[in-house]
A and B are shown apart, each in its own frame.
Chain A
Amino acid sequence: MLGFDYARPEKFDDVIALLLEAGPEALMLAGGTDLVVALRHHVARPRLVIDLKRVEGFRAEIREEDGSLVVPAGTTMTEIVRDRRIQALFAALVEAANVVGSIQIRNRATLAGNICNASPAADTVPLLALYGASVEIAGTSGTRLSSVEDFVRGNRDTDLGEGEVVTAVRLPLPRQKTASTFERITRRRGVDLATVNLGCLLQADGTVRYALGAVAPRPLLVEGGGDPETLFDVATPITDVRAGADYRRAMLNVIAERALARARSAL
């Protein structure tokens, strides 16, 4: 790793001040499972690394507030998987969080980090979009909300402005009974990044929505019920070291069907 300065602020306000001062040369560090890899590969070459883990509120408990479940930005995948409310209401998020890396990775990787990293293959992001989740962002002019769907704009590209930091993820509590499932395709059964992934949300009234990952620069939301032949035409998968575009496209239908079948039996 090349050299950098390190700061460990205790307040979000200090984070914001540091970010404004250092500009784009500052990077925030949560669990580090993406950032430290980028540092080691010299993809990220920050002058300043701002460690968020000791910021007040960053590692707070998950709480219910204004009809939403508020997941503080420092919440790790391990904590997501163990949370009873998330298990009950957002089952697919648990399934997705549970396949992020290994236990070692999940003990460090944060949900907010998965979003902010904006990798097209992120496993939790399509689901968060599917659940209508938003990120809570603090900046100089206070806090704002941005829906995950809009926040992730493309590959490694987010709606995070200068001097802004994500403080929490908000998951609106479902107003009717739902069942949700997550499926993905990988090259091996052990730890792997998704070749494609998919979330399925089935509501008591029978409506179905899908969220697709790794088949476009950003997660895609698709209303179910249409012609299966053309349902996923919005996907624009690419061919890379992990898979061919046609395989990715074909797998969408396969896992969508499986995800829906599981959701039906769960509802």
Chain B
Amino acid sequence: MSGEIAIDLMVNGTEHRIAVPPNLSLLDCLRDKVGLTGSKECCAVGECGACTVEMDGQLVNSCLCLAVEADGKAVTTAEAEDEDLGSVRDAFLQTGSVQCGFCIPGMVMAARAILRDEKADDAVAVREGLSGNLCRCGGYNRMFEAMARVSARQARAEAPTGPVVGTDVERSGGRARADGSQKFLADLTIDNVAHLKLVTLPVAHARIDGIDASAAWKVPGVLDIVTAVDLPQPLMHFGPVYKDRPVLAAAETRHHGEPVAVIAAETKEAAEEAALLVEVSYTALPAVTDIEAATAPEAPLVQPPELRPNDPRSGTNILNERVTEWGDLDAPGADVVVEGIYGFPMVTHFAIEPHGFIVDARSDRMTVWSPVQHPYLLQRMMADLFELPLTSVQVLAPDPGGGFGGKQNPKFEPLVALISRRIGRPCRLVLTLEETFQNVRRTATRMKMRTGFTKDGDLVFQDAEADYLVGAYGDISERVMAKGSYLGAGPYRTPNARIRARAILSHTTPATAFRGFGTPQMSWAYEGQMDKAARALGIDGLAIRMRNLARKGDEVVPGDFGADGHWEQSLQKAADLLGWQTPLPEGHGRGIAVAIKAGATTGLSNATVRLLADGSVVVYAGTSDMGQGARTIFAQLAADAFGAPMDRVTVVSGDTSAVPFDLQTSASRSTVFMGNAISKACEDLHRQLAEMAAELSGLELEQISVTNGIIHLPEAPVPIMDFVCAELRSWGGELVGTGRMRRHSLKDHPLGGTPAFFEFNCTAFEVSVDEGTGEILIHRHVTVGDVGKALNPLQVEMQDEGAAIMGLGHSMMEHLVLGENGEIRNLGALDYRIPTTKDMPLSLVTGIVENGDGPGPYGAKGVSEGAILCTAPALAAAVAQATGVVIDDLPLTPERVWRAVQTRDR
């Protein structure tokens, strides 16, 4: 079409004359032409605000603005050097507002506008002013605090001196996230890269009758158009458990958005245009998208039985089953039996960073850039698929802009590698948010529960049928079912239990890991049962839980690892923070719930720590920092081990060819597994320091000991930093320490090993409900975690608040809505709702219980999932008390609450 148009653009005070095509957005112009990649693309429809810039003094979404419209205008981006932006950045960092950081450049621009309007001290204006910017890490509460701080023009606090473990040190890498310089996957520039675009169908299940790409080939700049038949045969299949997922759909698509072809082109616009011109003739086939349909006797099979040879269930849609049982369900003693069927719908991760992949597979080596949570698993999978030695596959994993489980397992890396091989160029596939929705989601569940209690409220039995609706391919969802259902009786002393769980395939988005890993679904049911019993027996929700909660050492699954915390302390603390015993205001309702999740069970984490001649420390840790701030914790551990200032410690990760193996970043494992590995590497260095001190001083090794930061010599202690600076240079070189933590797998254990720790959480709410409209107003939201030891209390708070807000999302508004052909009807940000600043509770309080009883460094446990585990049942209990109606299906949308109230009144 039309040629390029020259525009004059003043960006952050610098003038640019740029030639742009009319269909280039201001966002792409800033990113690709001006080279400022701070402004991000997520939704591309004006909902998320990640692209927010200021144009002629007004805040705008640069994704909805054409570059030509900005001709002659002044644009300010998050990279700008100005005082207001500086104060906002400082306040964001100090208050822990910056997690993954993907939303932050847009967010600081919105915050700056509030500050400039002199509204930073007005809480309502702050909520309004930030509501056009979504943060999926859930940093809103921290941001409110940041704005209060900015308005008070509080000076930057001095960095603390002394040990840093246990203090609120600033997030490592936070500054780069606040000034837009952090490079996420889509920000990388790779020479000569080709752009890929997927061709998909508008239905879930279809037979592909033919593909005509002739019109698409005519688009200038198209390099390749590939369908399954063009790829090496047999077609490559992959998956973390079953190799059931084809790189492209061959004869049949099994879920909405499964690609049938892929375009490679010189520009993303050309790829996009060509993708629209590929004509696919197909026949829509019946799609099974819910548990009833998938388990009906005549249900179409989602996967052909050949995909799972040797599997006795391959003639059904049941991917796997698990039964966890103990005691005797028929044992007498139950005075009251409560029943319920609990529905938890499909929800999607909605990381603000959409998924993206770059692969350079031109030669017999391969470089893969992927913001994946498990770089080493990806490396091994690619090596296996392409029959390469591990040394020839390098995975570079830029920090994810939010993962939440969605970025654990490989998605399109194999396909991108195949195309890169075919065309002999590096290839890049960055998904839209809509496409991202089509590729990751949480398992939906239906739990049928029967629970027996004595008249005093003691649990007698728990009988559960836990059906997990997984997608068209197994991904890791079977493990989600296994882990979630294994603790299906909750954190209680349950004398008799049976949990029969199934993972059921369907023609829907492949379900994968998602924060909480099957537990929020399970707790929705068992905590719902607790409240049903409490109501039936006239016992208070706190009391019935206090009564049944496992005390430290009690086994929640007989024969397995016992309760590893004083969970009753968390329960009590949450009740106190909520004001459980205070008189209930008219029309209000309160609810409280608890849940546990099994932490990581097995696996290996390696760490290498280098102590350099000037006292600098370099930590090599393969953990991905997706917002949880792993790097900060690691740096704190190393800093204290050597008494080094934080700014002398660097943490290197994200490169499989430079950093040693770490199994994965998941299950809140990193602080414990990698943290211990680093502590051991530091101990290794302490030993080496003692040897060196002995050698240099002529003393016996036994006369010297080394503790955190100090070498104890007979005459006097010497700080490690002084010793290193004085001696290491002359000694020549540096010291290298290694450490690892590994937990063996146990063959007979249903989970392959006992959990290293439990994540325990208690959540409580006070709400009121507008019965006319069904809207819930949260007056107070409290969450308390049993964290062992908070290595960085601010980061624990960030994680807890973030998980809590994510929990509010699935409790109140999130669900994927499917159409008749299994197509997702609310793809993307316009109709899939997640919480904004205006949806925040009137008050959100997080608390922790620290008894130093975890297996990690200083007695820490993992923390990043706790506050999402039982948000929904606590909220529903509060709504039930306020309205008298009990709702067993999520989410509690205004409409659903209203409907329930109508039935009550009828």
Residues of A within 8 A of B835 (CB): 188, 190
In Å, the complex CA distance between A2 and B47 comes to 21
14 A-B contacts, Cβ less than 8 Å apart? A3-B22, A36-B64, A103-B131, A104-B110, A107-B58, A107-B59, A187-B813, A187-B894, A187-B895, A189-B838, A190-B835, A247-B899, A250-B898, A250-B902
In Å, the complex CA distance between A258 and B60 comes to 33
The one of B47, B58, B66, B826 that contacts A241, using a Cβ cutoff of 8 Å: B826
Which of A4-12, A127-135, A206-214 is found at the contact surface with chain B? A4-12
- A103-B59, A188-B838 provided; 12 other pairs, C-beta below 8 A? A1-B24, A2-B269, A2-B276, A5-B2, A32-B65, A33-B46, A36-B64, A40-B44, A40-B45, A190-B839, A241-B817, A242-B831
Knowing A37-B46, A241-B825, the reply to whether A188 touches B60 (Cβ < 8 A) is no
A101 pairs with B132, CB closer than 8 A: yes
B813 pairs with A1, CB closer than 8 A: no
The answer to whether the Cβ of A266 comes within 8 Å of any Cβ in the partner chain is no
A103 pairs with B132, CB closer than 8 A: yes
| A-B CB proximity, top 7 nearest | A102-B132, A190-B836, A3-B1, A6-B22, A190-B838, A5-B2, A1-B23
Interface residues of chain A: helix, strand, loop or mixed (majority): loop
B128 pairs with A105, CB closer than 8 A: no
B65 pairs with A108, CB closer than 8 A: yes
Knowing A103-B59, A104-B59, the reply to whether A36 touches B66 (Cβ < 8 A) is yes
The answer to whether the Cβ of B69 comes within 8 Å of any Cβ in the partner chain is yes
B132 pairs with A49, CB closer than 8 A: no
The one of B1, B63, B825 that contacts A5, using a Cβ cutoff of 8 Å: B1
Within 8 A of B (CB), among A16-53: 29, 32-33, 36-37, 39-42, 47, 49, 51, 53
A104 pairs with B898, CB closer than 8 A: no
The answer to whether the Cβ of A64 comes within 8 Å of any Cβ in the partner chain is no
Q: Mark A91-115, 1 if CB is under 8 A from B, else 0.
A: 0000000000111110110000000
B23 pairs with A251, CB closer than 8 A: no
Residues of B within 8 A of A103 (CB): 59, 110, 113, 128-129, 131-132
In Å, the complex CA distance between A41 and B44 comes to 10
Shortest distance from the beta carbon of B812 to any chain A beta carbon, whole Å: 8
The answer to whether the Cβ of A192 comes within 8 Å of any Cβ in the partner chain is yes
A49 pairs with B22, CB closer than 8 A: yes
Shortest distance from the beta carbon of A162 to any chain B beta carbon, whole Å: 23
Shortest distance from the beta carbon of B147 to any chain A beta carbon, whole Å: 14
The answer to whether the Cβ of A267 comes within 8 Å of any Cβ in the partner chain is no
Residues of A within 8 A of B898 (CB): 247, 250
Residues of B within 8 A of A241 (CB): 817, 825-826, 831
Knowing A190-B131, A247-B898, the reply to whether A2 touches B833 (Cβ < 8 A) is no
Residues of A within 8 A of B69 (CB): 29, 32, 51, 53
Knowing A104-B61, A241-B825, the reply to whether A42 touches B276 (Cβ < 8 A) is yes
Within 8 A of A (CB), among B329-372: none
Q: From A41, which residue of chain B is reached at the shortest CB distance?
A: B45
Knowing A3-B2, A37-B64, A40-B44, the reply to whether A189 touches B22 (Cβ < 8 A) is no
B21 pairs with A107, CB closer than 8 A: no
Shortest distance from the beta carbon of B870 to any chain A beta carbon, whole Å: 22
In Å, the complex CA distance between A42 and B23 comes to 12
Within 8 A of B (CB), among A225-267: 241-244, 247, 250-251, 254-255, 258
B22 pairs with A32, CB closer than 8 A: no
Q: From A76, which residue of chain B is reached at the shortest CB distance?
A: B58
B5 pairs with A6, CB closer than 8 A: yes
Q: From A192, which residue of chain B is reached at the shortest CB distance?
A: B833
B23 pairs with A39, CB closer than 8 A: yes
Interface residues on B, range: 35 or more
A188 pairs with B833, CB closer than 8 A: yes
The answer to whether the Cβ of A191 comes within 8 Å of any Cβ in the partner chain is yes
Shortest distance from the beta carbon of A182 to any chain B beta carbon, whole Å: 15
The answer to whether the Cβ of B772 comes within 8 Å of any Cβ in the partner chain is yes
Q: Mark B290-306, 1 if CB is under 8 A from A, else 0.
A: 00000000000000000
Residues of A within 8 A of B598 (CB): none
The answer to whether the Cβ of B68 comes within 8 Å of any Cβ in the partner chain is yes
Knowing A8-B68, A187-B894, the reply to whether A104 touches B45 (Cβ < 8 A) is no
Knowing A104-B132, A188-B836, A247-B895, the reply to whether A32 touches B58 (Cβ < 8 A) is no
Within 8 A of A (CB), among B32-75: 44-47, 49, 52, 58-61, 63-66, 68-69
In Å, the complex CA distance between A185 and B773 comes to 8
Q: From A37, which residue of chain B is reached at the shortest CB distance?
A: B45
Residues of A within 8 A of B46 (CB): 33, 36-37, 101-102, 104-105
In Å, the complex CA distance between A78 and B54 comes to 15
The one of A37, A104, A192 that contacts B60, using a Cβ cutoff of 8 Å: A104
The answer to whether the Cβ of A116 comes within 8 Å of any Cβ in the partner chain is no
A191 pairs with B64, CB closer than 8 A: no
A1 pairs with B25, CB closer than 8 A: yes
Knowing A3-B1, A4-B23, A244-B895, the reply to whether A107 touches B66 (Cβ < 8 A) is no
Residues of B within 8 A of A8 (CB): 68
Residues of A within 8 A of B110 (CB): 103-104
The answer to whether the Cβ of A62 comes within 8 Å of any Cβ in the partner chain is no
The answer to whether the Cβ of B179 comes within 8 Å of any Cβ in the partner chain is no
The one of B45, B68, B131, B830 that contacts A51, using a Cβ cutoff of 8 Å: B68
The answer to whether the Cβ of B893 comes within 8 Å of any Cβ in the partner chain is yes
Shortest distance from the beta carbon of B757 to any chain A beta carbon, whole Å: 35
Shortest distance from the beta carbon of A240 to any chain B beta carbon, whole Å: 8
Q: From B434, which residue of chain A is reached at the shortest CB distance?
A: A41
The answer to whether the Cβ of B837 comes within 8 Å of any Cβ in the partner chain is yes
In Å, the complex CA distance between A250 and B905 comes to 14
Within 8 A of A (CB), among B837-860: 837-839
B773 pairs with A187, CB closer than 8 A: no
In Å, the complex CA distance between A3 and B269 comes to 8
Q: Mark B152-172, 1 if CB is under 8 A from A, else 0.
A: 000000000000000000000
In Å, the complex CA distance between A182 and B322 comes to 54
The answer to whether the Cβ of A86 comes within 8 Å of any Cβ in the partner chain is no
Q: From B114, which residue of chain A is reached at the shortest CB distance?
A: A103
The answer to whether the Cβ of B145 comes within 8 Å of any Cβ in the partner chain is no
The answer to whether the Cβ of A193 comes within 8 Å of any Cβ in the partner chain is yes
Most buried by A among B23, B269, B276, B835: B23
In Å, the complex CA distance between A251 and B44 comes to 31
Residues of B within 8 A of A258 (CB): 772
Shortest distance from the beta carbon of B345 to any chain A beta carbon, whole Å: 13
Shortest distance from the beta carbon of A104 to any chain B beta carbon, whole Å: 5
Residues of B within 8 A of A242 (CB): 831
Q: From B64, which residue of chain A is reached at the shortest CB distance?
A: A36
The one of A3, A104, A193, A251 that contacts B21, using a Cβ cutoff of 8 Å: A3
Knowing A108-B64, A247-B899, the reply to whether A2 touches B132 (Cβ < 8 A) is no
Shortest distance from the beta carbon of B126 to any chain A beta carbon, whole Å: 12
Residues of A within 8 A of B129 (CB): 103
Shortest distance from the beta carbon of A61 to any chain B beta carbon, whole Å: 17
Most buried by B among A3, A5, A188: A188
Residues of B within 8 A of A49 (CB): 22, 66
The answer to whether the Cβ of B662 comes within 8 Å of any Cβ in the partner chain is no
The answer to whether the Cβ of B413 comes within 8 Å of any Cβ in the partner chain is no
Within 8 A of A (CB), among B784-841: 812-813, 817, 825-826, 830-831, 833, 835-839
Q: From B829, which residue of chain A is reached at the shortest CB distance?
A: A191
Residues of A within 8 A of B895 (CB): 187, 195, 243-244, 247
In Å, the complex CA distance between A104 and B813 comes to 23
The answer to whether the Cβ of B889 comes within 8 Å of any Cβ in the partner chain is no
The one of B60, B273, B773, B812 that contacts A108, using a Cβ cutoff of 8 Å: B60
Within 8 A of B (CB), among A102-157: 102-105, 107-108
Within 8 A of B (CB), among A146-205: 185, 187-193, 195
Residues of B within 8 A of A247 (CB): 895, 898-899
A3 pairs with B23, CB closer than 8 A: yes
Most buried by B among A101, A191, A254: A191
Residues of B within 8 A of A6 (CB): 2, 5, 22, 66, 68
In Å, the complex CA distance between A192 and B833 comes to 8
Residues of A within 8 A of B830 (CB): 37, 193
